[in-house]
Amino acid sequence: MRRLLAALVATALTLAGTGTAAHATPEPGGAGIGDPYFPQYGNGGYDVSHYDIRLRYTPATDLLTGTTTILATATQDLSSFHLDFLLDVSSVRVNNRPATFARQGDHELVVTPARPITDDGAMTVVVQYSGVPSEKVDAGLGYSAWIRTPDGAMAVGQPEIAWWWFPSNDHPADKATFDVSVAVPNGVSAISNGDMPNFGPVPETLGYSRWSWRSLKPQAPYLAFVTIGKYDLSLDTTANGQPIWNAYSKLLPQATRNEAQASIERTAEITDWESTLFGPWPFEARGGVVAPPGTLGFALENQTRPNYSSAFWFSGSNTSVVVHENAHQWFGDSVSLSRWQDIWLNEGFATYAEWLWSEKNHEGTTQDLFDYLYATNPPNAPIWTAAPAAPGVANLFGPAVYDRGAMALHQLRLAVGDDDFFRILRTWAAEHRYGNATTVQFTRLAEKVSGRDLDALFRAWLYTPSKPALTTMAKRAPQAPKSWAQISRTHELLHEN
């Protein structure tokens, strides 16, 4: 996204006859974007601004066919480039000419355009493909992240899901806008991010209807989703006129459905409350999707519209998970990771939002939750043996990232005071809106806003794999805060799947 303007300027210069700079010999674009935890994820040499994904899906056979058009800009002179993708490709065109392509390893597709692409040059890449996503197991991961359900399928996953349904530069460091359009048999719904300008499916031939969604703000590829099946879909609007699309699987038992509705129908209220803490809601639409029982095992903060496992509703309403997934819209979706190692910037912040919600509802203060976690986790507990800001690949979704990440924020709040703490959160969301950022950028911002040296605090709470000492210590283990049952069960699901 970021190089689009430069490309337009370069094009203007070329048209004016002044863009005659000599170019280096074109070279292959890299197989990875340079993430230390996942050297193969994403690709080098280009920057995507838009994905147009146009598909057809048949639940009975799990056959997915279609075309993805990628608008991108080269960031070097390119003789070839990679896309991340697992399905079988039948043709690739680059800038109006057929290109050759070859598979390298499991999820890399190497595309060689008929003519090299010059640095800053525009690329239009059209990929035609088909496949049965549930049959495509990535050898490195050892599974298919595509979820088949009794009446459809879901492309909902983290850190990897794009590979199973559209070719991409699959890393949050390269965000783009999305049009997602899926034809499915009549009576089946296809739901995705953002808004549905047609307000419903448009009939095609042979008993299929096409559902077309549009996500207008830069979006990381893993946050793009498609959920297909028999759903009750509703449209409402927020006080400021934004669409709220909510969808509940028709396969939910009535009690689960009631509990889920009593939580997700509060999305506008919850996100309005979050915007008083974090700044304006960053996107053009809102909502939530609840999967059939026994399918999705976790929840994911898909941009504008999280997907939820039905397992979050086990004994009454659960607003904690709605607070968590929607807090990610600021922390993770609008401000995205530059590298997966910094995942606590997403999960620690979303967890802290749950604590703030508990406090607001008089179910335990943020201090109560901090004290409870500190007192009940002995030094050898997993929350301490990994460092939130350097957790290692195996602990990306572990308690050190979520719970201790939130504890680190609470220590920051105690050190700088409420005014500066919430100013830091709002400035963070504003300065990096629709972009990417790292832990070091956060700790520098905290020091700048507060005017304090916070080195020792961040070293102990973010970078050291052991239990930090406290200056004041609770004498005995405190009672579990009232919100603890819901928060801890919610986190069990987010951690394990």
Which partner from the list ligand ARG, Zn ion, none does 299 bind, CB cut-off 5 to 8 Å by kind?
Answer: ligand ARG
**Distance from C-alpha of 395 to C-alpha of 168, rounded to nearest angstrom:** 26
Query: Which residue, judged by CB position, is nearest to Zn ion in the bound state?
Result: 350
Q: Quick one: which of 35, 301, 368, 371 contacts ligand ARG (CB under 6 A)?
A: 301
Give residue 276's identity as a one-letter amino acid code. Answer: T
Kind of pairing, strands 176-185 and 46-58? parallel
Q: What is the DSSP string of 122-182?
A: EEEEEEEEEE-GGG--BTTTTB---EEETTEEEE--SS--GGGTS-B--STTS-EEEEEEE
Q: Is 325 in the site for ligand ARG (CB under 6 A)?
A: yes
For 217, 232, 246, the CA distances from 59, given in Å and listed in that order, are: 30, 17, 21
The token pair that represents 331 in the structure block: 């922390």
Question: Judged by CB, which is closer to Zn ion: 152, or 282?
Answer: 282
Q: Quick one: which of 85, 384, 397, 458 contacts ligand ARG (CB under 6 A)?
A: 397
Q: Are 228 and 59 in contact (CB under 8 A)?
A: yes
**Distance from C-alpha of 107 to C-alpha of 85, rounded to nearest angstrom:** 5
Query: Which residue, judged by CB position, is nearest to ligand ARG in the bound state?
Result: 397
Find the binding residues for ligand ARG in span 136-175 (CB under 6 A): 158
246 alpha-carbon distance from chain centroid: 18
If DSSP codes are grouped into helix, strand and coil, which group holds residue 95?
coil
Which partner from the list Zn ion, ligand ARG, none does 274 bind, CB cut-off 5 to 8 Å by kind?
Answer: none
DSSP state of 257: H
Find the binding residues for ligand ARG in span 420-439 (CB under 6 A): none
Which partner from the list ligand ARG, Zn ion, none does 300 bind, CB cut-off 5 to 8 Å by kind?
Answer: ligand ARG
Find the binding residues for Zn ion in span 312-351 (CB under 5 A): 347, 350
Q: Quick one: which of 84, 347, 363, 368 contacts ligand ARG (CB under 6 A)?
A: 347
Which partner from the list Zn ion, ligand ARG, none does 298 bind, CB cut-off 5 to 8 Å by kind?
Answer: ligand ARG
Helices 439-450 & 344-360 angle (0-180, nearest 10) = 50
**Distance from C-alpha of 288 to C-alpha of 468, rounded to nearest angstrom:** 38
Site size toward ligand ARG (CB under 6 A) is: 11
Q: How far is the CB of 354 from ligand ARG (least distance, A)?
A: 11
Q: How far is the CB of 493 from ligand ARG (least distance, A)?
A: 9
Find the binding residues for Zn ion in span 347-376 (CB under 5 A): 347, 350
Q: How far is the CB of 282 from Zn ion (least distance, A)?
A: 16
Among 317, 297, 308, CA closest to 256: 317
Q: Is 407 in the site for Zn ion (CB under 5 A)?
A: no
**Which residues of the shown chain bind ligand ARG in the complex (CB under 6 A)?**
158, 298-301, 324-325, 347, 397, 494, 497
